[in-house]
Structure 1
Amino acid sequence: MSKDYTQLEQLTSKLFEVNKTILTNFEEYTLNKIDADFIKVVKPFADEVKEISDKWLPMALHFVETVKPKYLFKHQIEDVHENLQIEAVACFQGDTKRKRFLERNKSVAYTLDMLLQSIKR
C-alpha cells in the first residue's frame, strides 16, 4: 500500500486487545453477578476505551472510504466505535445479558480483524 497506515494498524490492534479485555471483564464481573466500583474501575476503563476509539474512528473511516476494502463498510466502523463504548461499561454490570453481549463482542472482533487484514494487504 502506498500510504502509511502504521498508526491505524497500531490503534486497531490496541482496540482488538481492549475487546479481549472487555470479554475477560464480562466473564469476571457479569457471570459472577458482581458489580464493579464505578469510580475506581468502570469510569477509568470506559474513558480509556473512549479515548482510543475516538482517535481511531476518523482514521478507520478515512481508510475505508479511500481504500474501499472488500466486505468492510463505513457503517461497520461506526458500529465498532459505538459498541466498544457500550461494552466498556456493560462488561462490569452483573445484569448484562450474556447472548447479546457475546454477539456484540464477536461482531467487534470480526470487524477489527477484517480491518487489520485490509491494512496489511
Structure 2
Amino acid sequence: MDTVKLNNLSEKLLSYMDFIEGRYQEARKSQEKGDFYTEVKPFADEVKAINDAWKEEAASWVRVERPKHIHFKQIESAYDQIEMLSVQAFYPETSRTRFINYLQSVKYILKVMVDELKLNL
C-alpha cells in the first residue's frame, strides 16, 4: 500500500470530477450528445484506468489503516459511480438529480480520503 500513490490517484479523480461536472453542464446547455467513439469511450477508458488503480490502493489502505470515516462499501460505491459519471457526463438526457447526487457523493469520499491521507504523509 502506497499512500502517496493513493493520494495522487484520489487527486486525479477529483480533477476528473470537475471536468465531468463541466462536461455535463455543457451537454445539458447545448442538448448535444458527445460522440461515443471520439469523445465518450476514450475519456471513459482513461478514467477507468485511474479508477481501477485507485480502487485497488484504496481497498488496501482501508484494510490496513482502518480510517474512521471511510469504509470499503464507500470505496466500492464511489468506484461504480465514477464509472457511470464518466459516461453519463456526455449525455444531456441523464437525470440531473441522480447525476448531481452521484457527483457529490464521489467528491465527498475523495475529499475525505485526501484529507485523511494528508495527515499521514
Specify the TM-score bucket, using the shorter chain as the normaliser: over 0.9
CA deviation map 1:33-89 (0-9, x unaligned): 211111110000000010110011110011111111112100101111110110011
Q: Which residue of 2 aligns with 1:99?
A: 97
Identity rate of aligned residues, in percent? 33
From the two aligned structures, give the one with the greater helix fraction: 2
Query: What CA distance in whole angstroms lies between the structure 1 residues aligned with 2:52 and 2:69?
Result: 23
Q: Which runs of 5+ in 2 are unaligned?
A: none
Runs of 4 or more, structure 1, over 3 Å off, are none
Query: What CA distance in whole angstroms lies between the structure 1 residues aligned with 2:38 and 2:28?
Result: 17
1:1-121 alignment, distance < 5 Å? 4-121=2-119
| SS of the residue 1:30 aligns to | helix
* TM-score normalized by the length of structure 2: 0.94
Q: Which runs of 5+ in 1 are unaligned?
A: none
Query: What CA distance in whole angstroms lies between the structure 2 residues aligned with 1:4 and 1:87?
Result: 26
Q: How many residues align?
A: 119
Query: What CA distance in whole angstroms lies between the structure 2 residues aligned with 1:28 and 1:109?
Result: 19
The answer to whether the Cα contact below 8 Å between 1:30 and 1:91 also exists between their aligned partners in 2 is no
* TM-score normalized by the length of structure 1: 0.94
